[in-house]
Amino acid sequence: MTQPIGIGLAGFGTVGAGVYKNLTANGDLLTQRLGARFAVRRIAVRDLKKRREVSAPAEIFTTNTDDLISDPDIRIVIELMGGIETPLAFVKKAIAAGKIVITGNKALLAEHGQEIFRLAREKRVPVFYEAAVAGGIPIIKIVRESFVGNRFESIHGILNGTSNYILSRMTDTGMDFAPALAEAQQLGYAEADPALDINGWDAAHKAIILASLAYGFWLDPAEIFVAGIESVTAADIRFASELGYSIKLLATIKAGGGNAIEVRVCPTLIPKQHVLASVHGVFNAIAVRGDVVGETLFYGRGAGQDPTSSSVLGDLAEAACAVESPRFCYGFTSHDLYGKCQPTAEAVSKYYLRLSVKDQPGVLAQIAGALGDSGIGILSVIQPESLVEDSVPLVLMIHDAPFGAMQKASEKIAGLGCVKDTPALLHVETFS
């Protein structure tokens, strides 16, 4: 390839600057390995006057993303702007113009993946998105290509480094949620507004992409169960440990009965002996079980400038091949083996239920009765000593039950006169 492939970069924040920096540093390496050269022709930013840690020639900057689309020398556009509406308009324009698209925008794909890939098929333009899930872990390529001959039995992932750091610190030190979050913010692991990280939706967007790719249809975000880590307490961490579990913000994706799949993202008790329980700090990990390959595990940094830009460079290498050799797969292929999400209320799981109850006879009988009325059984009970007068903690491990029935039972228990605070209800994943 004698002429360099022109690139348009939309967004020059942390990841965009990392892509430019690492492409500049390793451009010769890519040329040696691919036989292709790259040249960044234009960079679209919001503010031309903003000071930047990574420098690029001033003449290639623009505030108009249309400049990337109208430039005939640009064959590949890389969308790293953040947000949804502006990137969606840009990506659709780029595909319509025949530009190959690379994006790391998980929210964009989770909310509008079906629309984007429909247009990509119509225009026969590939879209690459490795950087959208799990930073430097090449999980999109693994699910889409390496394991293409497998039926996916399950995918379990720790997909948000901020939440995992907070829960790790709570586990290691015994601190509660608020100081652990403050520490994560001080160290730069959490944003000043950490809502998407701690409320579960950052991980949920990634789970939607993985589930859609693995099971062949785009999920509606409204159909999956998402809960954050804000209500997890140091006491929950301690009680779970005594029972042999760690608590992680876990994305659970499973093939269910018929053509349905189950998807949930929430704080979950994981057996300590399972490898995901040992994933600490800001790292991500994904366990994939296929009917042919069996159990596999992928581990690495799930965010950050260099890990994420590494995934973008990997997509750039594939995009370079697509420039010369048209593809018949444009990033997502639908199929009819599966077709719906199992309703959240029908999903069956074991549960952890923590209560604060009055220190009086007959309490356990009332709670067991409320569970029994819903057809739910108790696996085990622990009642640690309490330092609070007239109040004791009561922790129950609950048999497999539909989530809807368990929620109703929990609400009924909350209304009992012997129960003092709102019950804490968490899923338990046994990986069976």
Q: What 3-state class would DSSP assign to 399?
A: strand
The structure's pTM equals 0.94
CATH 3.40.50.1100 fits 5-135+305-324, yes or no: no
Determine phi and psi for 43, rounding to 5 degrees.
-130, 120
Q: Which residue has the tokens 């639908």?
A: 334
Taking residues 122-129, report their average pLDDT: 95
The structure tokens 């993303």 sit at: 65
Give the pLDDT band (50/70/90) at residue 339: confident
Residues sharing a CB contact under 8 Å with residue 428, sequence separation 6 or more, in sequence order? 245, 268, 269, 349, 350, 351, 352, 397, 398
H or E element, residue 74: strand 74-79
Which of 10-14, 180-184, 390-394, 408-412 shows the lowest per-residue confidence on average (mean pLDDT)? 390-394
Query: What pLDDT score does 222 carry?
Result: 93
Q: Print burial letters for 176-208: b (CB count within 10 Å at least 16), e (below 16).
A: ebeebbebbbeeebbeeebebbbbbbbbbbbbb
Both tokens assigned to 111: 């909310």
Q: Which pLDDT value is given to residue 329?
A: 79
- Please state, in angstroms and rounded to a whole number, the distance separating the CA atoms of residues 186 and 190: 8
Please identify which residue in the block is written with the tokens 């029994």.
Answer: 372
Say which DSSP state 231 is in. T
The letter for the amino acid at 407 is: Q
Write out the DSSP string of 88-109.
HHHHHHHHHTT-EEEE--HHHH
Say which CATH topology domain 345-428 has: Alpha-Beta Plaits (3.30.70)
Average pLDDT, the chain: 93
Every domain of the chain with CATH number 3.30.360.10 lies at 139-302
Q: What is the pLDDT of residues 8-61, one digit of tens each?
A: 999 999 999 999 999 999 999 999 999 899 999 999 999 998 888 899 999 999
Tell me: pLDDT of 408 over 60.
yes
How are beta strands 152-158 and 245-255 bridged, if at all?
Answer: antiparallel
Is 206 a residue of the active site? yes
Residue span(s) of the chain under CATH 3.30.70.260 come to 345-428
Among 206, 248, 254, 350, the one annotated catalytic: 206
Distances (CA, A) of 345 to 310, 313, 335, 349, 406: 39, 41, 26, 11, 9
Q: For residue 80, is pLDDT > 70?
A: yes
Provide CB contacts within 8 A for 411, sequence distance 6+.
none
Confidence of residue 242 (pLDDT cuts 50, 70, 90): very high
For the 139-302 domain, the top CATH level (class) is alpha beta
Quick check: 89 pLDDT over 70?
Answer: yes
The pLDDT of residue 1: 56
- Spatial separation of the C-alpha atoms in residues 236 and 102, rounded to whole Å: 41
**CA-based nearest residue to 240, from 198, 270, 199:** 270
pLDDT digits (tens, 9 = 90+) for 263-275: 999 999 999 999 9
Q: Are 337 and 216 in contact (CB under 8 A)?
A: yes
100-103 and 74-79 beta bridge pairing: parallel
Whether the per-residue pLDDT at 128 is higher than 60: the answer is yes
Strand spans (E) along 172-282: 225-226, 245-255, 260-271
- Give residue-wise pLDDT tens across range 309-320: 999 999 999 999
For 67-90, b/e burial (b = at least 16 CB within 10 A) is: bbbebeebbbbbbbbbeeeebbeb
Ranges of CATH 3.40.50.720 domains, the chain: 5-135+305-324
Two tokens at 399? 């048999």
What pLDDT does 11 receive?
A: 96
Collapsed DSSP state (helix, strand, coil) of residue 154: strand
- Cβ pair 308, 316 in contact under 8 A: no
**Mean pLDDT to the nearest integer, 115-131:** 95
Residue 328 pLDDT exceeds 90: no
Question: Is the pLDDT score of 190 beyond 80?
Answer: yes
Between CA 263 and CA 256 the distance in angstroms is 10
